[in-house]
Amino acid sequence: MRIKPRLPDANLKIVLRPMRGLSTRKSLGELVYDNLRQAIVRGDLAPGTRLVESRIAGAQGISRTPVREAIRKLERERFIERLPRGGFGVLGLNRQDIIETFGIRSVLEGYAARLAALNYQADDLKPLEAKVDEFERLLRRNQLRGLPDVNTQFHDLLYALSRSPRLVGMIDALRDHIFRFRQIILRDARQARVSNDDHRLILEHIRRRDAEGVERLVREHILRGQEMVLKTFDRSLE
């Protein structure tokens, strides 16, 4: 079961960045796509929000052509779906999406951690240790909104230690969907602390070059997150 569109049209002038005056090599369609995708991923455009090409174009002060290009790409990537009465709706999560994404993550990221344990060099772990400490400071200050970004930075650094660009690319393909899940997991301070404790353990196993142990630990870490997201999803259906 998927969350159905239920919200009114978004107040796009509030949730989207202005397009005019931007200096970039990206096409206008790519900029609109980035803008909408980030608004969806960060929850500014909530599941069920209705999107209409003409209103997006008006809010951004641009023609409908680049908006149409962005909409098509978002539809292909399953961030939005076409509505029977016109326009598009921001897709929420369904149980299969959650199970599938976390299952893929557990395999890919577990393998990345295994390679990191085998390939890391002397000073490679210092940036990861700094992210664990930064996460802890945010927790102590109860600044939970900043946790998903720091968590993502930790995992990005971990993937890079695999020294496998192809593997990192495969993980990055799930990046935005993973971020949506992280926001659910890390809004709970207790669960956020468990997550950071896991990160400390992951670093200990990598430091000992325990490839098998760290792969198992990362898989357990990810599947624990899946359990929490599924519980949140099930409560939303009650």
- Tell me: do 102 and 22 sit in the same domain: no
On the question of pLDDT at 224 being above 50, the answer is yes
pLDDT value of residue 212: 98
Q: 20: pLDDT confidence band, cut at 50, 70 and 90?
A: low
On the question of pLDDT at 45 being above 50, the answer is yes
Residue 221 lies in a domain: yes
For the chain, the average pLDDT equals: 88
Is pTM, for the whole model, over 0.85? no
- Tell me: do 65 and 138 sit in the same domain: no
- For residues 213 and 210, what is the distance between their CA atoms, to the nearest angstrom? 5
| Number of domains comprising the chain | 2
End of a domain among 58, 90, 122? 90
H or E stretch covering 146: none
User: By the 8 A CB rule, do 45 and 91 touch?
Assistant: no
On the question of pLDDT at 2 being above 50, the answer is no
* Residues 6+ away with beta carbon under 8 Å from 13: 59
Residue 195 lies in a domain: yes
Render pLDDT for 109-143 as a digit per residue (tens, 0 to 9).
999 999 999 999 989 999 999 999 999 999 999 99
- For residues 75 and 121, what is the distance between their CA atoms, to the nearest angstrom? 42
- Tell me: do 176 and 80 sit in the same domain: no
- For residues 182 and 72, what is the distance between their CA atoms, to the nearest angstrom? 26
Neighbours of 55 (CB within 10 A): 16
- For residues 184 and 50, what is the distance between their CA atoms, to the nearest angstrom? 22
Q: Which residue has the higher pLDDT, 136 or 29?
A: 136
H or E stretch covering 90: strand 88-90
Please state the rounded mean pLDDT for residues 194-203.
97
End of a domain among 56, 90, 124? 90
Q: 8: pLDDT confidence band, cut at 50, 70 and 90?
A: very low
End of a domain among 70, 90, 110? 90
Residue 40 lies in a domain: yes
Neighbours of 114 (CB within 10 A): 21
Residue 162 lies in a domain: yes
* CATH number, position 64: 1.10.10.10
- Tell me: do 119 and 138 sit in the same domain: yes
H or E stretch covering 80: strand 80-82
Burial (CB count within 10 angstroms: exposed 0-12, middle 13-18, buried 19+), residue 237: exposed
H or E stretch covering 193: helix 189-207
Residue 6 lies in a domain: no
pLDDT value of residue 92: 84
For residue 96 the two structure tokens come to 């299969």
pLDDT value of residue 81: 93
- Tell me: do 74 and 21 sit in the same domain: yes
User: What are the residues facing 56 on neighbouring strands?
Assistant: none
User: By the 8 A CB rule, do 173 and 166 touch?
Assistant: no
- For residues 217 and 75, what is the distance between their CA atoms, to the nearest angstrom? 35
Domain that holds residue 224: 95-236
